[in-house]
């Protein structure tokens, strides 16, 4: 089970925000905010609510977030108005997928190289 700090960090990273950005918006130091993400300080509900607001999610979504979920901002036109929200999808974020694909490619190349060494021996 992920800690609340790691959930906050993951959502922040998916939103392409830095710790400094979030800390400044919360009117706290980057060091104090970093301690929250590392789980080194307790988080009051009021602070948790502010963090959720900065990240653009509600507190329940923040608390129930799982790292395998992807957050995508969506806009929907509803009866002449526009509603902005978030959709939680199962799967990998594009950045995570790209990282895994590069890692797999590297490992496949390494396996091919090692096989060529074994055949040559």
Decide if pLDDT at 53 tops 70: yes
pTM above 0.85, yes or no: no
Decide if pLDDT at 35 tops 90: yes
Cβ of 51: how many Cβ atoms within 10 Å?
Answer: 23
The more confident residue out of 82 and 50 is 50
Pair (8, 24) in one structural domain:
yes
The enclosing domain of 31 has a CATH number of: 1.10.260.40
Give residue 78's pLDDT band: very low, low, confident or very high (50, 70, 90): very low
Q: Which two tokens stand for residue 8?
A: 């906050």
Q: Burial level of 55, CB count in 10 A (0-12/13-18/19+)?
A: buried
Q: Which pLDDT tens digit goes with each residue over 13-29?
A: 888 899 999 999 999 99
Q: Which residues of 94-113 are buried (b: 16+ CB within 10 A; e: fewer)?
A: eeeeeeeeeeeeeeeeeeee
User: Could you tell me the CA-to-CA distances from 52 to 19, 40, 44, 46, 98 in Å, in that order?
Assistant: 14, 19, 12, 10, 27
How many domains does one find in the chain? 2
In the chain, the percentage of residues whose pLDDT exceeds 70 is 76
Question: Domain range holding 26?
Answer: 4-90
Pair (69, 21) in one structural domain:
yes
Pair (76, 106) in one structural domain:
no
The more confident residue out of 50 and 94 is 50
Pair (26, 79) in one structural domain:
yes
The more confident residue out of 70 and 113 is 113
How high does pLDDT run on average in the chain? 80
Pair (60, 115) in one structural domain:
no
Sheet strands (E) in 1-121: 69-78, 81-90
């Amino acid at each position: 089970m992920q800690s609340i700090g790691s959930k906050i960090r993951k959502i922040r990273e998916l939103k392409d925000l830095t710790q400094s950005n979030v800390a400044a918006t919360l009117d706290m130091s980057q060091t104090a905010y970093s301690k929250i993400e590392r789980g080194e300080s307790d988080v009051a509900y009021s602070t948790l609510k502010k963090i959720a607001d900065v990240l653009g999610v509600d507190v329940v979504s923040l608390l129930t977030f799982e790292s395998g979920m992807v957050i995508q901002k969506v806009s929907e036109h509803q009866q002449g108005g526009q509603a902005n929200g978030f959709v939680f999808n199962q799967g990998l974020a594009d950045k995570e997928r790209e990282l895994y694909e590069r890692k797999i490619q590297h490992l496949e190349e390494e396996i091919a190289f090692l096989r060529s060494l074994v055949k040559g021996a």
